[in-house]
Amino acid sequence: MSGDRRDRTWLLIVLTLASTINWADRQVVPILFPGIRAELGLTDTELGIVGGLAFSLIYAVTGFFFGFAADRWTRVRVVAFGLTTWSVATAAGGIATDFTTLFWARFFTGIGEASLFPCAVSLIGERFPPERRGRALGLYGMSAAIGAGLGVGLGGRLAELLGWRAVFFLYGGSGLLLVPLVLTLPEARRTRRDRPHEHPATVVRALLADPRLTVLWLAGMTAMASGIGYAAWVPSFFVRHHDLDVTGAGLLFGAAALVGGVAGSVLGGMLADRRGRARTAGELDVAIGSGLLAAPLIVATINLATPLLFVPVGLLASVTIYAFFPALQTLLVRIVPNERHGTAAALNVFFLGGLGSALGPFVVGWTSDATGSLHTALLLTAVGFLLAVAIVARAGRLARRS
Rg over alpha carbons for the chain, rounded to the nearest Å, is 20
User: Which CATH entry fits the domain spanning 3-184+200-401: 1.20.1250.20, 1.20.1560.10, 1.10.10.10, 1.20.58.110?
Assistant: 1.20.1250.20
Q: Which pLDDT value is given to residue 211?
A: 93
Q: Where are the domains of the chain?
A: 3-184+200-401
Phi and psi, residue 70, nearest 5°? -65, -30
Q: Which pLDDT value is given to residue 195?
A: 54
Q: Which pLDDT value is given to residue 122?
A: 87
Q: Which pLDDT value is given to residue 20?
A: 93
List CB contacts of 193: < 8 A, sequence separation 6 or more.
Answer: none
Q: Which pLDDT value is given to residue 101?
A: 92
Enumerate residue ranges in the chain where pLDDT < 70. 1-3, 188-197, 246-247, 250, 307
Q: Which of 226, 229, 243, 253 is nearest to 314 (CA)?
A: 253
Helix, strand, coil percent content, the chain, rounded in steps of 5: 85, 0, 15
Q: How far apart are CA 356 and CA 385, in angstroms?
A: 12
Q: Which pLDDT value is given to residue 151?
A: 78
Q: Which pLDDT value is given to residue 258?
A: 79
